[in-house]
Amino acid sequence: MKINHAILHILDFDSAVNVMSERELDFDTRAVRSFVSSHLRRARTSVDNRRAAFSEESAFAGELKGYFFGDREFVDLSQQIAEFFAAELAKADKMESTDVLVADFDDDDDVRWFAVLLMASRTAFMHEVAVRNDIAKRYAILPAPSQKVSSYALVRASSMEAFYVDKKRKIMGEDTLIIPEGLLQCESGVSGKEVIEAVTRIVEEVAEEHGANTA
């Protein structure tokens, strides 16, 4: 995997302060490179990914095409994406501090992708070393590289094919999928996992009907 660009924006609803980064992540640091590549690879290969097609009215599709053709700067576009999520998540019935990771990368097959990952912050308890060792609660803990991210979008540069995973959020009292309905503005399909489950169910039904072993 080759990461061309990556940046992290912070939406902190606990302190009511959002921090939009003006610089890309430094991949000279091994820990940063490993963290980002692990999450991108996990998202890219997940069987939960839903295939989607951009609607003709999708503003995001137009902005992304402009970026791929060199008419938009990466940092500027990423900030615009983060501002969108800041405005939408601020309307949620339960506001959740979130880090927005935006990346442009080539996968292991040299296919170029644009990715947007919403990394919900969590709390954790850590020890503090002093004259008296203590326990302190820490906020804004990022998900571990081995953890799944519950909301993200991937767009293939060559074909503008979109894939996403998302969870429902209560926004202004309504269940909303903020990735496909808000950011992408797309028509959604099914995931690879759902296709496998459907085929398995059909095979089992046919086998039972003909008295065959469902296994």
Q: What is the pLDDT of residue 117?
A: 97
| Residue 101 DSSP SS3 | strand
> Mind listing the pLDDT tens digit for each residue in 153-162?
999 999 999 9
Q: What is the pLDDT of residue 139?
A: 63
Average pLDDT over residues 81-107: 94
Cα separation, 34 vs 26, whole angstroms: 12
Under 8 Å CB-to-CB from 208, ≥6 apart: which residues?
A: 214
CB 2 within 8 A of CB 33: no
Q: What is the pLDDT of residue 177?
A: 93
pLDDT band of 96, cuts 50, 70, 90: confident
pLDDT above 90: residue 122:
no
User: How many of the other CB atoms lie within 10 Å of CB of 13?
Assistant: 17
- Cα torsion 41, 47, 53, 58: sign: negative
Q: What is the pLDDT of residue 188?
A: 65
Q: What angle do CA 115, 116, 122 make, to 5 degrees?
A: 135
CB 18 within 8 A of CB 11: yes
Name the region of 197 (left: φ>0; alpha: ψ -120 to 50; beta: rest): alpha
> Of the segments 123-127, 171-175, 185-189, which one has the largest average pLDDT value?
171-175
Average pLDDT, the chain: 85
34-61 burial string, b = 16+ CB within 10 Å, else e? ebbbebbebbbebeebbbbebeeebebb
Under 8 Å CB-to-CB from 173, ≥6 apart: which residues?
A: 93
pLDDT above 50: residue 152:
yes
pLDDT above 60: residue 16:
yes
pLDDT above 60: residue 194:
no
